[in-house]
A and B are shown apart, each in its own frame.
Chain A
Amino acid sequence: SQKIEQNSEALNIQEGKTATLTCNYTNYSPAYLQWYRQDPGRGPVFLLLIRENEKEKRKERLKVTFDTTLKQSLFHITASQPADSATYLCALPLTGTASKLTFGTGTRLQVTL
């Protein structure tokens, strides 16, 4: 069956370090993958979209990689700040190019001073 796995344990890092979050998927061949941020009691906020023909995408302090052979995406936040503390969700289309998304369970990131 199709499955998306994100590390369910919280990731605790020190301010200024690089946070790296992992999203692994099985039995999918998605045309793209998205990352969202979610704060408690709020809806997810879109961060980055990467397509299957792109190896890497950057936006300010954020970087996403997409390895379709390993079936894995890595999400990096460089020079992390306490304000980056949130839950980060990866999402893939249920079938190839479909609009409807399947989300992972998310990884909670805690950045401390």
Chain B
Amino acid sequence: DTGVSQNPRHKITKRGQNVTFRCDPISEHNRLYWYRQTLGQGPEFLTYFQNEAQLEKSRLLSDRFSAERPKGSFSTLEIQRTEQGDSAMYLCASSLSNLGTGGQPQHFGDGTRLSIL
């Protein structure tokens, strides 16, 4: 079990630039999630995939954000025309599908910390 891997670990960019983050989930996990976390807060749900299908996006997610999981394996999260308010830790997690009414543990990567100058 190599765990969830995220790249890059840190990204510093100027306002208005586009950025792309990558997440490699645990290989046997079919669900992949993106969260955003700011200082002193818990992770906030952004979107999730089951295999290659994007099943849900948070209403908080601006049109400048897009995520893909083209072959049901790794995923990318792109932010276009970055703004100061986008500065945060972007976390990826993966899990197996839920069994009935029960949940599954989510396994998180160590995130990409985005800083907008």
Interface residues, chain A, CB within 8 Å of chain B? 4, 8, 31-32, 34, 36, 41-46, 49, 51, 89, 91, 93-94, 96-97, 99-106
Contacts and interface: CB of A to CB of B under 8 A. Distances in A.
A-B pairs, 5 with minimum CB distance: A103-B42, A43-B108, A46-B105, A32-B103, A31-B101
Interface stretch (B43-51, B60-68, B69-77): B43-51
B41 to A, nearest CB: 6
Contacts of A99: 31, 33, 48, 95, 97-98, 103-104
A8 B111 CA distance: 23
Given A43-B108, A43-B109, A45-B108, A105 B41 contact: yes
A32 B105 CA distance: 11
A46 B109 CA distance: 11
A99 B33 CA distance: 9
Given A32-B102, A43-B111, A46-B105, A101 B45 contact: yes
Contacts of B105: 34, 46, 49
Interface centre among A4, A49, A101, A104 (most CB of B within 10 A): A101
Contacts of B98: 97, 99
A51 B33 contact: no
Interface string B34-46: 0000001111110
Nearest to A41: B110
Interface string B2-43: 001000000000000000000000000001010000001111
A103 B43 CA distance: 6
9 contacts: A8-B40, A34-B103, A41-B113, A43-B110, A49-B102, A97-B103, A99-B97, A103-B42, A106-B42
Nearest to B58: A100
B42 A89 contact: yes
Interface in B86-117: 91, 93, 95, 97-98, 100-111, 113
A104 B40 CA distance: 10
Contacts of B56: 100
A46 B110 CA distance: 13
